[in-house]
């Protein structure tokens, strides 16, 4: 296995109006994960988590400075198997040409993550969450 597993585990949308966005996705019939609130909400969709997070908080966490329009408000995540693996995967991504935008830190929600930008500026979160469970292919089975 490489230091950065070939996984897309989470797509996070920066929400301008969390209540309206949560209502929309629930109206589609998508079951919201337990613990959803106007501070964070998630929907497990066929092995990938769709997460909703307030846009201003996501921008602060993902290091979204730069010229206006340089960041879309969307992040992708690659969840790794251990807290320690966050740092090695982060370093491997940077060595491969990613730009570090937010160094790995322990997060208030109990996990650890850092952010890099690919050559087009897309934000990838390299993360570990103790509640994430994967199948043998690396597909996300549970989150929370």
Q: Is residue 125 a part of any domain in this protein?
A: yes
pTM: predicted TM-score of the whole model, two decimal places: 0.74
Does 119 reside within a domain? Answer: yes
Number of domain units in the chain: 1
Query: How far apart, in Å, are the Cα atoms of 24 and each of 18, 119, 120, 129, 144?
Result: 10, 32, 30, 26, 22
Would you say residue 69 lies in a domain?
yes
Structural domain boundaries, residue 109: 10-143
Instruction: Say which CATH number the domain at 119 has.
Output: 3.10.180.10
**Residue 2 placed within a domain:** no
The confidence score (pLDDT) of residue 41 equals: 95
Task: Report pLDDT for 50.
Answer: 92
Percent of the chain past pLDDT 90, that is, above it, reads: 47
Contact between 115 and 102 under an 8 Å Cβ cutoff? The reply is yes
Is 5 inside a domain boundary? no
**Is 94 within a domain?**
yes
Q: Is residue 4 part of a domain?
A: no
Q: Write down the pLDDT at residue 1.
A: 54
Q: Judge whether 1 lies within some domain.
A: no
Predicted confidence pLDDT, tens digits, the chain (144 residues): 578 888 889 999 888 889 999 998 898 888 999 999 999 999 998 889 999 999 889 888 887 766 666 677 789 999 999 999 999 999 999 988 898 999 999 999 899 999 998 876 778 999 999 999 989 888 888 887
């Amino acid at each position: 296995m490489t230091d950065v597993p070939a996984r897309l585990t989470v797509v996070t949308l920066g929400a301008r109006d969390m209540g309206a966005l949560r209502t929309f996705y629930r109206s589609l019939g998508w079951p919201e994960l337990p613990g959803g609130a106007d501070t964070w909400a998630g929907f497990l969709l066929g092995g990938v988590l769709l997460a909703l997070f307030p846009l201003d908080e996501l921008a602060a966490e993902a290091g979204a400075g730069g010229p206006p329009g340089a960041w879309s408000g969307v992040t992708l995540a690659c969840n790794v198997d251990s807290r320690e693996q966050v740092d090695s995967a982060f370093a491997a991504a940077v060595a491969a040409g990613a730009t570090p935008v937010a160094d790995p830190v322990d997060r208030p929600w109990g996990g650890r993550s850092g952010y890099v930008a690919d050559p087009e500026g897309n934000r990838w979160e390299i993360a570990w969450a103790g509640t994430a469970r994967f199948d043998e292919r690396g597909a996300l089975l549970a989150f929370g």
